[in-house]
Chain A
Amino acid sequence: MSGSGKGRGRAAFTFNIEAIGFAKGETLPEVAFKPPPLFPPTDFKPVPLKMGEEEDYMLALKQEFRASMKKMPYFMQKEDENQGIEKYSKKYLQMRKESMEWTPDWRRLPREMKPRKKTKKGGKTKKGKVATPKSNVDVLKKIEELEKKGDEEKSDEEKEKEKDKEGEEEEEEAGNEQEEYDEEEHEEENDYIASYFEDGDDFGAGSDDNMDEATY
């Protein structure tokens, strides 16, 4: 068998290695076994930034623009779960922001964008109670939606347009029921089932008398 290249076990290339610049028989550079460093040292440092009036003005414009955008009603902040230390001032900041609510021009938007009037009211009461039972309302709404899911699956066969309409109706109902649930939620602060005890009629009066025993 003819040996490949110079001898057994020696590396051989299919081209003339002198073409790349390594002299014959010279040791090749090491093979790298790890990825290159994350911040390799550079031979040439970057050129300094352009300085001048124009650049300074644009810098100021950029920072002002960012600050203005944060104050606009378009900036939707995620409601923090844990308020931390800054609760007092945040209350006033939020009040100020809510006074600048923005309503888009509904004529230019698809019809499905407009929140239904009933849910809008439900939404407003939800905002008022945002500090208190927010998680409860979400859970109840989820239960509502899960109940309605049975109806949704039926409508899969129908056209999508009607599905949209139904979706809007669902939300309307969910909004209504949400208000009902809110009332119930407030009543049920304790473990007792409301239907057993009805305050009023015979509550205090009934227990004192021993009329039950003596029915002569």
Chain B
Amino acid sequence: MTQAEIKLCSLLLQEHFGEIVEKIGTHLIKTGSQPLRVIANDTGMSLDQVKKALCVLIQHNLVTYQLQKRGFVEYEASCSRVLRILRYPRYIYTAKTLYSDMGELIVEELLLNGKMTMSAVVRKVANRLTETMEDGKTMDYGEVSNTFVRLADTHFIQRCPMAPETTETSDAPPPPVPTLAVNEKDMYVVPNLNLIGKGKRRRSFDDEDDGEHKAKRQKQDADSKEPPPDDGIYWQANIDRFHQHFRDQAIVSAVANRMDQTSSEIVRTMLRMSEITTSSNAPYTQPLSSNEIFRSLPAGYNIVKQILDQYLTLLADDPLEFVGKSGDSGGGMYVINLHKALATLATATQESIVQERFGSRCARIFRLLLRKKHLEQKQVEDFAMIPAKEAKDMLYKMLSENFVSLQEIPKTPDHAPSRTFYLYTVNTLSSARMLLHWCYKSVANLIERRQYETKENKRLLEKSQRVEAILASMQATGAEEVQLQEIEEMITAPERQQLENLKRNVNKIDASENQVDETIFVLESYIESTVKKL
């Protein structure tokens, strides 16, 4: 774990779970797997707090536990999983585009709570939807269940590993650690629940009364409820499937930018057909014959078979090599080269970064080096058609920032510099790692700055919140215009201006974090695809 990753993880944990969990989570990330007592000792926190924090982290799938041979339990945090918190809004938005509001709320509830049973999710989502509907209407549990089932069928949500069923009559003491088993076949099987009911609308009395009512009602609910029929079957969001979806989206839009809409539709169809058959880290999809593709094209597209074949040939011949031809049977067997596509996307990202940082001439040199792999300084000047002095200057600037590296080829065994070739080259993998590190640093800086801005104006923010609360309560009880105006004037005009500025800055910083995360995704997918899985 690099320092930048650890810093970013600690900021994310602090924002979403509070300082106690942040301290313990960061400690685990820094030191690897540790037993409970050592964590309590090293962080200086009470055993109680450590236990609570670990429960929260385990609930949210950020920490796992393992029984060691000597009989104690070790806890391990997963740094990459903590970094995914940055991408939660993107997951929720994707669910919204695919399954509309219901899907969005289901995924949001699952991400907020880490893992939940299906009945709990359905109930909560129905309640939330009911509140947004008009008076008198309620959301039926059945519709929400249907959306849940659809999400499970397309693998966007999955079951968590199951705890073994405890038998009451066992004499042996229960094991210190439940062995959670993953049953591959059942991972997406929805339990056969008969969820009948409607969402409840929360009555809006005074806020305090509401709080008390709710507390009382909840206590009663908790006491009088029997265990739900799907007790013990927990669901979580399947992050890998979402990543697969993002990757497919990126490939399709790349093809659309490079060629045209029809070819992107063809690629989208091919990807859709291979969703279930191809594992997420396969180098290429299963071969698909041209006939199959023709049959699976969306209904709106009436292109003739020959045109489809021409498009496929064009795609296969394209130097970007997104699509490859693997055989001739069935009208031509085509595959999508996933790893190559990811590499191309990462390279395009790097080119764009070089262009925005150093200018278009440097970008030209960079692209030239990507094409020709290794070039001497003189050759760079000639091929790029840039005057010698400027070319040297640009090369050294890029070299100092590590976008470009030198390869030495000695002519003599003593490596004398005057008798050695120095070739410039671009190593995409290492510069991708460097850029990823930059991205983590930038997001950490952005979050810090946002927290600083919020802290500076804390007093003003609280004042405005109080004024809003007063206004809301006065409007509810029916107040005159004059009184409302008086309350509003409690915030002076320059203060209002300051609040506006603050809001604009915070929004800008948040939007930047989201955008940097997109780059992080592309670079991470590329790096992951190059790592050989054992």
Contact = CB atoms under 8 A, between A and B. Distances in A.
B176 A111 contact: yes
B15 A104 contact: no
A104 B59 contact: yes
Contact of B93 (A16, A58, A77, A86): A58
Interface in A9-44: 13-16, 19-21, 42-44
Interface stretch (B269-277, B338-346, B425-433, B506-514): B506-514
Contacts of A77: 18-20
Contact of A110 (B176, B208, B234): B176
A65 B20 contact: no
Given A99-B218, A110-B176, A76 B17 contact: yes
B73 A66 contact: no
A42 B214 CA distance: 56
Contact of B88 (A59, A65, A100, A160): A65
Contacts of A149: none
A149 B180 CA distance: 35
B52 interface: yes
Contact of A100 (B16, B96, B218): B218
Interface stretch (B64-72, B139-147, B192-200, B296-304): B64-72
Interface stretch (A47-55, A184-192, A196-204, A206-214): A47-55
Nearest to B93: A58
Contact of A65 (B108, B175, B215, B513): B108
Nearest to B355: A44
A72 B112 contact: yes
Nearest to B68: A160
Contacts of B73: 110, 112
Interface string B62-96: 00010100111100000000000000111011001
27 contacts: A14-B418, A44-B356, A54-B93, A59-B511, A59-B514, A61-B89, A62-B510, A62-B514, A65-B89, A65-B92, A66-B15, A69-B15, A75-B17, A75-B18, A76-B17, A76-B56, A78-B18, A92-B208, A99-B211, A109-B178, A110-B178, A112-B73, A113-B51, A115-B51, A119-B48, A161-B71, A161-B176
Ordered nearest first, which 6 A-B pairs have the shortest CB separation? A99-B215, A15-B417, A161-B71, A61-B89, A62-B89, A76-B18
Given A55-B511, A107-B163, 18 more contacts: A50-B515, A57-B93, A57-B96, A61-B92, A62-B89, A62-B510, A65-B88, A66-B15, A68-B112, A69-B15, A75-B17, A99-B215, A104-B55, A105-B163, A108-B58, A112-B51, A164-B71, A164-B176
